[in-house]
Structure 1
Amino acid sequence: MAALLLIATAALLAFRGAYADKVYPAVAVGDVPVGGLPRDAAETRLAERAAALAAQPLRFAAGDRTWTPTLADLGVSLDLEASLGAAYRVGREATAPDRLWSAANLVRNDRAVPFGLRLDLGVLGRWCDGIDAEFGREPRAAALVVEGATVSIEPEVDGIAVDREAVRAAAVAAVAAPSDGVAPLPIVTTPAAIRAADLAGARARVGAALAAPVAVVHEGRRWELAPEDLGRFVAPIVDPARTGADAVTLDLDQPALAAFLSERFAAEIEREPVDALLGWNEGPVVVEEGVDGRAIQAETFAREVTTAFFAPGGTVPVPVEIVKPAVDGTNLDQLGITTLLARGDSNYDGGSFDRDTNVEVGARLLNGTLVPPGGEFSFNGAIGEITADKGYVVSTVVQGERAGRDIGGGICQVSTTVFRAALLAGLPITEWWPHSYRILTYEHDGWGPGYDASILQPEGDPFGGGDLRFANPSDSWLLVESWTTGVHVVVNIYGPDLGYDAQFSETTFDGPFPHEEADLETVNPALPPGTIEQTEWPLDGSEASFTRDVYGPDGELLESRQFFTKFRGRGNVWQVSPDMVGQSPAGG
């Protein structure tokens, strides 16, 4: 007996020695026999099988669509190290009895260990994402559809998506049991949260609401909001924490409804506040009281209209709030207007009656203009659009300038006077346009060339042209007061004591420069037949400039700026009636 045991032990030792660096015989990994192979040869054979596995296809179908991903597409690959290690450990178990049993078993039976697999869930997820984008759909709840004054229900759509766990399981199973068959694409269904039946009650309620208009009233006036106007704002609110009919609450789209109501009623109900008209009498005084504004409380209005829509029969008073003007008789002492900053003047003697009229209208409209703390004065903004209903008449655009008559001609006499006042006050000039041609009218009373300011209000865009602007650098208000006396325009600017000292250089004047423009003939259909009249005379060009230095209360230089004007030259200009074209000295 001892001899037999000795023989068996010797045989086992010899067996183990023969396979010291090899896989024991009769061992396979999956369907790949690796028994008796050295480790590197076994690894090579498994690598070949891994490549074949990576290209092994699966077939899925849904409806008339098919997909044929490989195992690699699904993130499944052979783990060479794990597979080879499992094969090599057969017969090399941790305990002697296990090793003996395993070796003896290999003599009688083959031993197959399963493939070691790697699963890349990111790759699997990307393949499933692609199928979902092509084939899947998000669940869509049933919805109310309002068209005009009718309401219907759009049925729900359940969501479908690839069942990722089922695809993973199918891929793993295909490693051990490949198949050429076509399997149904594994999908999961996500029921829509709201079914058509859940909206039956909501449909009935909206239908009842659409049966009658909503009445709106304000200060004795009455309007009706038609059902079709309000129906487009129906916006059921779905509570994601609930399902079925309990998840649905009826409402109207509040922001959109508020915007609609504001646009619908603003012109008839709202008004801007009007600041008090101020003058000066050893301090600011109220010349004309301000007017309160009125604004619709749009959010409240929308909520009350919504309530009336779903509970027909009542009326909705338009909720408004009073908007106080920024300046009125109660807060004059808070404006900070304490002193005269500067006075500007200009002489418009020699103008036509129509031009004088426009100068006086402009000065009247400018009077009382207020500039808020840190704000900016705009001449066009102060006088508003130049129109006949304000008293303006047709006149030469600016006397002596290039041909043309227009409503409001002469208004630049007023903007020039404001420019001079702002210059003398030391205020920062933020927009300034000198005239293109030298106008001697602006040089009356000792003012040099270049101390003028033109403005322009193009037809159709009155505030898109050239403007005169200056900044209010203080934390108090400014008051612009203007009037005409005799043939003079006077502009006073009041505000806080800024302590500014504005100093001006002598005006530098160069010229005249001979004009280079040819004589011009223009046709005026309004002239009677046989008319040839000269409207402009030759004018040479020139250049003028001056520098303003502004010093602060402590003597520091705040600004040094040159104001430069290049005056253009021009030739003769004749206007002719249509029958006299080409017969003026300009020759057409």
Structure 2
Amino acid sequence: MLGMGGVCSAILPCYHIYDMAKKSLLILFELLVITFCLFNLAFTGRVFPNTLVAGINLGGKTKTEAITSLSQNIKIPDKIILQGSNQSFEITPASVDLEPDIPVSVDAAFNLYRTGNIVLDLAQRAASLFKKASLGLRFSKNEEKLDQQVSVIAGQVETEPVYPTIKYTNSLVVVEKGAAGDKLDRELLKIRIGAAFAYSQSSPLEIPLNKIDPTLSAAQLAKLQARGEALLPKSLEFKYENSVFTFQGPYLIKFIDPAGLYLNEKISQAVEEIAKSLNRDPENSVFIFNDNRVQEFKPSRDGVKVKQDFLGQVFTGNLRTLEETDEKTVTVNVPVNITPATIKTGDINNLGIKELIGRGVSYFAGSIPGRIHNLTLASSKFKGVLVAPGDVLSFNDTVGDISAQTGYQPAYIIQEGKTVLGDGGGVCQVSTTLFRAALNAGLPILARTAHAYRVGYYEQKSDPGLDATVYAPTVDLKIKNDTAKHILIQTTVDASRLMLVFEIYGTKDGRTVEISKTVLTKQIPPPADVYQDDPTLPAGKIVQTEHRAWGGTATFTYRVERVNLVLFEKTFVSNYQPWANVYLRGTAQ
């Protein structure tokens, strides 16, 4: 065993070795610091080693030397070649007004590793002895000219994708899968062009294209086809007051988004059209009464503003309902905000003319000008007519004499089974429309006669059996005002929609009206076509004045109640003769 003296003598050499190593490391560190200081001192005012601009080594040079070297050695490419799949394009420095900026390029090289962050700068300066830093040449260029050239290239290399479609054509739902396209990445191309000039690259550059592929798979196409087929037999209706907006299946298909659910833009367009039709400012009432007749009347109308965002959501939701359920037709009330009129109709008269109680509509598409003139003139006789409580309105008494002397023009009428020109053709359009308004108002019809045959005008957007003919003095339409207040009649001829409207204003008394669906029985087919000579038409000219119509009996029930009490009930029966196509054949020489 060693004694204490032996242990100490063994440890002393270890301490000596450690002390020598420590001194050596300290000397080495001092040498490194001195070397690095000398390195930084040597590159004071100079570019650090291995710093390249456009491939030219500017390391160790002062700014002035670097500018000279870069100016003498820089080689800007004469052109940059852009290579597409089957064509190439050239960009020259002159075409984009490219100008190298040597001083700025040298400044960038000089400022490398001189950020002010001492630790980071020292580390990067040390690393510069072993690795290169490659900077691009700085330059200015005309961005507008470059954009123009890129646009030209885009026009040559891009192919527009064909997006999937669904449409209704030739009575069929047709879907198309679409086709892929290529879109030029313009920003990336400009970056590549700039880099090629900055680093003096001469090799062709690939034109960057992004593939756009909206095509549908076979399964997606089948699903799209099924969606279209599901909507085809269906319809979506939006109602507000007397306006109805109907979208049938072939139109509903247009709202389907082949890549998703529905095309919000098209739904927004449809909603916008509905809003344009319904939106209105509030209107105060006007009521001017003279000589037992209302000379000027305008009912108050509340302002209406469609809730378009909500309607769009309702539109989308009901499209989905039609697709996913067995519902054939969905009818929706248009959501609106109401702004009340300041002066209501009932505020400015003491006759009880407060509100609309009945409205009748008929259409006269296909009418000759003389007929339209006559129905306009006859309907004007009713504008402003007041009917006192308990009084009976006679159509013939109100219209008065119908002749050329009172302003009526010749139009086709039925006389003794023939179609002839006679004064007042078209007046029955007026009596028919008044009849419908009175029915909807729930007023007693004391006298009404159907036409001898079904007239096409009166079945435009209407069931048969809702017509009324007049022929003074024997055939009249009579309506009683059995309400406790006056009623006022207003008429409108809408020439753009070929529509005649009668409106009856008064005071609602709680009555409800039920008009049944018309039932047709004992139907008889129309006879053979009839040709009648007409000396007023040029020889050989053929004009059709009547259209074939089936004969038969049309029946509907009219029932009016108030608080579960039946005020009256009546069944209207119209017996129609079969009618042939009637043509006038010109015989004038």
Superposition TM-score, scaled by structure 1 size: 0.39
Superposition TM-score, scaled by structure 2 size: 0.39
